[in-house]
A and B are shown apart, each in its own frame.
Chain A
């Protein structure tokens, strides 16, 4: 009986209500802008990786050619394109992804869930592929 009365008191008791929150819109914008841009990074990375895949295929199917000779040929025939996609893009992606990892790390603090760990892993993978592309260019 006493518990029932207490239950009724809890239900009837007035509770604080939230009517207006001025900071709401600015917070929504800040959260929307905090999303990582890994899809854009993958698009840029896919171009030099695709070229490397093509050059690898060429060295396999064309006699007397190697991947290194094909990369050297590309560098001499397409100097601007090769510098952009094999030097500038991977270099920028390494910096961008390193900052992205730092940002996710600070955003998640001590509460790293599976999504933030996956985002850090994807960024790390992009840094790895960017380094591979730089190594191919240096060959």
Chain B
């Protein structure tokens, strides 16, 4: 099924959103996890990202970008918002109605255990993320998309809606700053 077919299905029947979720939730969750290095923040930001996507899905076709790029863009904005505000007043899980709260929390705890164990396996990555988070957001987003997500210039330019020259300059300066911070490697 193409992106357009899936979007039309969701527009006609919002319950088809679960298909959309199956396709994109995991990669976007992974992207946010690799940017924050924290499960709780990631779960909250990912849920907010998909709630925004669901509420705006009818306007999507007018944006002229792929669904994945659009989701990366929303997720990037949500992560940046989180970094700037440092803390959130309430988590999205306190604000949405889940069918079975206990079961949902138990699933969430299982996922947390698994992913925290996964994070611990990548000690060097966590050290780099810790240093990356001390840099301005503009460097964090380009470095994360290029070196953690493996995106090329064209994709990053689309996701961040910036010019290629700006991207190259941010990457070069950001990398230099990060290298200075990680000089122990």
- Report A's interface with B, CB cutoff 8 A: 2-3, 6-7, 9-11, 13-18, 20-35, 106-107, 109-111, 113, 115-116
Contact = CB atoms under 8 A, between A and B. Distances in A.
Interface string B97-137: 11110011001101100110011011011001000000000
Contacts of B179: 2-3, 6
Interface stretch (B48-56, B64-72, B157-165): B48-56
Contacts of B97: 30, 33-34
A31 B22 CA distance: 13
Counting chain B CB atoms within 10 Å of each CB, which of A18, A25, A30 scores highest?
Answer: A18
A134 B118 CA distance: 60
Contacts of B18: 25, 28-29, 32
B107 A23 contact: yes
Interface residues of B, number: 58
A16 B47 CA distance: 19
16 contacts: A2-B179, A9-B185, A10-B143, A10-B147, A14-B121, A18-B27, A20-B111, A21-B26, A23-B43, A23-B107, A26-B104, A30-B104, A31-B96, A32-B17, A33-B97, A109-B90
B139 interface: no
Contact of B176 (A3, A14, A15): A3
Contacts of A20: 111, 114
A21 B96 contact: no
B171 to A, nearest CB: 9
Contacts of A115: 55-56
Given A6-B182, A24-B25, A26-B107, A31 B30 contact: no
Contacts of B54: 31-32, 34-35
A16 B52 CA distance: 26
Interface of chain A, main secondary structure? helix
A3 B183 CA distance: 11
A30 to B, nearest CB: 5
Nearest to B34: A15
A2 B29 CA distance: 32
B125 A14 contact: yes
Counting chain B CB atoms within 10 Å of each CB, which of A16, A107, A113 scores highest?
Answer: A16
B50 A16 contact: no
B21 interface: yes
Interface string B1-43: 0000000000000110110011001110110011000000001
